[in-house]
Amino acid sequence: MASNSTQYQGACICKSIHITLQGEPVKAMACHCIDCQKSAGGPYQTCAIYDTQNMTVDDPSNNLKKYVFPKETVGSGHEKHKFFCGACGTHLYNQPMKHNGEKSVIKTGFLDSADGPGVNLFEPMGELFTKDRASFVAPIQGAKQFERGF
Ligand SMILES: [Zn+2]
Ligand SMILES: [Zn+2]
């Protein structure tokens, strides 16, 4: 698999947690749901979905923290686990328990790139929860629009 030789890397704001992603994402999305807005402290989050086995988390200071969204509050009816740096607060990824942690929803804002902001690495191919889109944010050109989840 040729595309699997590609690697992407990123770190939290305090640089204590480094994450390496192997290969290209399964999907890249923007999500406008209220959980994403609150986590971002802004209008939406951008995400790249990876098989968890293709993600390596390097956390020598043991700063990785987890918050569990109770299943009653998640549309899928399964818990959603949110992982973030306990030292600087950077949101790193989610794991929907609908997939038993086998899929990771990478928050692309922490990715690093030599060519500018890492968030540019994966252009969203779809937008989720557009019903909650901020009134001042326009749809991303060419991205499929979903009123809720998939
Ligand atoms: Zn940090
Ligand atoms: Zn969301």
Element (H, E) at 35: helix 34-40
CA 36 to ligand 2 center in whole angstroms:
4
**DSSP-based helix, strand, coil % in the chain, nearest 5:** 20, 40, 40
CA 62 to ligand 2 center in whole angstroms:
26
pLDDT of residue 24: 96
> Considering every ligand atom, which ligand is closest to the CA of 83?
1
CA 8 to ligand 2 center in whole angstroms:
22
Report strand pairing: 126-128 vs 27-31: parallel
pLDDT of residue 4: 62
pLDDT of residue 135: 98
pLDDT of residue 1: 46
Residue from 65, 66, 58, 67 nearest 15 by CA: 58
Give the length of the chain: 150
For residue 102, the Cα-to-chain-centroid distance in whole angstroms is 14
> Considering every ligand atom, which ligand is closest to the CA of 107?
2
Rounded Cα distance between 17 and 11, Å, is 6
> Considering every ligand atom, which ligand is closest to the CA of 63?
1
Surrounding residues of ion ligand 2, Cβ less than 5 A: 31, 33, 36
The segments of the chain whose pLDDT lies below 70 read 1-4
> Considering every ligand atom, which ligand is closest to the CA of 14?
1
pLDDT of residue 3: 56
Give phi and psi for 95, each to the nearest 5: -130, 110
CB atoms within 10 A of CB 42: 12
Give this prediction's pTM: 0.94
pLDDT of residue 63: 98
26-51 tens-digit pLDDT: 999 999 999 999 999 999 999 999 99
CA 139 to ligand 1 center in whole angstroms:
31
